[in-house]
């Protein structure tokens, strides 16, 4: 009888422990028993010419805590055959309680040291000629200060939500019906499109903690060059009375551009068009800017530049000026 009572008490105690743990948001599975640091990543974009969850192949992860034995300057992560992220060397948590600062940067850069107070500035740049299939101009980052494993791990992993260091410009050229003279063009009549007046490189730096809020960019004024964006959409008009349009994209170094410094120029048939930025414009990181230009035979009219977060959802509609 005593044994049976003990048996019931043991079962009840176990049930209580399991139930209590489930009420603390998964305390059984948040912190891994082997203390191994594991990660899961998400990239906030589905656009071309930039990283996506599928195209990201490597990144660096730094972990800084009070115990140097469990601090890591920057360890390269790559995907294994099962699609899981694996580090170049074993990384362990000190315990579930200790707070750490974490920073992740992509693509991996072995020449850089990510450590509080001893960071090596990272040189970042965009290509002069960009293409939709090449994500070379894109740079990603993520950071969190005061990360506590038992509180912040998701299914036992660091949930890294990468954001873009750079800006993106989406340009739409809305062609007047004058371009339909003799029939709607089958191919895009715009050529020699270039954007002038922006710095193509910068230095990236941090403060004393691995916090994305302290990530700073310092554009190189000596790197101001012409840049050729890439075409994403050509939409010919349905007939001679409707407008055709063509869309372009390019990645920009975040920077402040003064009025008249940024120039967009191109040829439409035999005519050369040019548009100058009418007022000071600040290009912020992880932000998409849209601009629409209406192109006529003898004129060029611009809408406003609008901004939206560089994320998986579409930004606001382009603003046309008729």
pLDDT at 55: 75
Cα gap 237→111, rounded to integer Å: 51
137, two tokens: 């101009």
Give the chain's end-to-end CA distance (angstroms, integer): 91
Task: Say how many CA atoms lie within 13 Å of 308 toward its Cβ.
Answer: 14
pLDDT at 13: 41
CB contact at 8 A, 77 and 86: yes
Q: Residue 190 CA to chain centroid, in angstroms?
A: 29
140, two tokens: 């990603």
DSSP state of 157: B
Q: Which residues contact 59 (CB under 8 A, 6 or more apart)?
A: 41, 76, 77, 104, 105, 106, 107, 108, 140, 160, 162
Pairing of β 287-295 and β 271-276: unpaired
Closest CA relative to residue 48, chosen from 250, 301, 278, 185: 250
CB contact at 8 A, 99 and 209: no
pLDDT at 213: 52
Residue ranges and CATH numbers for the domains of the chain are 26-164 (2.60.40.2620), 167-309 (2.60.40.2630)
pLDDT at 198: 98
Q: Which residues pair with 29 in a beta bridge?
A: none
Instruction: Give the residues of the chain that fall short of pLDDT 70.
Output: 1-29, 44-54, 114-119, 206-214, 311-322
How many residues are there in the chain?
322
Closest CA relative to residue 204, chosen from 214, 216, 213: 216
Summarize pLDDT for 117-170 with one digit per residue, the tens: 556 778 899 999 988 878 888 889 888 889 999 999 999 999 999 989 999 999
């Amino acid at each position: 009888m005593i044994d049976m009572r003990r048996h019931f008490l043991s079962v009840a105690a176990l049930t209580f422990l399991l139930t209590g743990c489930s009420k603390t948001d998964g305390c059984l599975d948040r912190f891994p028993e082997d203390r191994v640091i594991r990660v899961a990543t998400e990239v906030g974009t589905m656009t071309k010419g930039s990283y996506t969850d599928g195209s990201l192949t490597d990144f660096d992860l730094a972990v800084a805590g009070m115990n140097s034995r469990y601090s890591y300057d920057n360890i390269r992560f790559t995907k294994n055959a099962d699609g899981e992220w694996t580090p170049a060397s074993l990384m362990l948590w000190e315990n579930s309680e200790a707070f750490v600062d974490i920073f992740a940067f992509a693509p991996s850069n072995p020449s850089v040291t990510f450590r509080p107070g001893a960071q090596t500035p990272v040189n970042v740049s965009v290509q002069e000629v960009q293409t939709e299939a090449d994500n070379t101009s894109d740079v990603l980052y993520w950071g969190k200060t005061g990360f506590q494993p038992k509180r912040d791990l998701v299914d036992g992993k660091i949930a890294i939500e990468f954001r873009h260091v750079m800006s993106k410009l989406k340009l739409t050229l809305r062609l007047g019906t004058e371009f339909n003279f003799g029939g709607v063009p089958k191919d895009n009549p715009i050529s020699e499109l270039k954007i002038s007046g922006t710095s193509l490189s910068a230095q990236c730096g941090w403060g004393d903690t691995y916090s994305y809020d302290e990530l700073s960019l310092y554009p190189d004024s000596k790197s101001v060059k012409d840049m050729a964006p890439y075409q994403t959409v050509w939409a010919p008009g349905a007939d001679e009375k409707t407008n055709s349009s063509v869309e372009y994209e390019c990645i920009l170094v975040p920077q402040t551009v003064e009025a008249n410094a940024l120039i967009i120029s191109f040829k439409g048939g035999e005519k050369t068009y040019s548009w100058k930025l009418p007022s000071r414009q600040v290009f912020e990181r992880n932000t998409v800017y849209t601009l629409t230009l209406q192109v006529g035979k003898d004129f060029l009219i611009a809408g406003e530049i609008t901004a939206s977060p560089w994320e998986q959802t579409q930004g606001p509609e382009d603003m046309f000026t008729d």
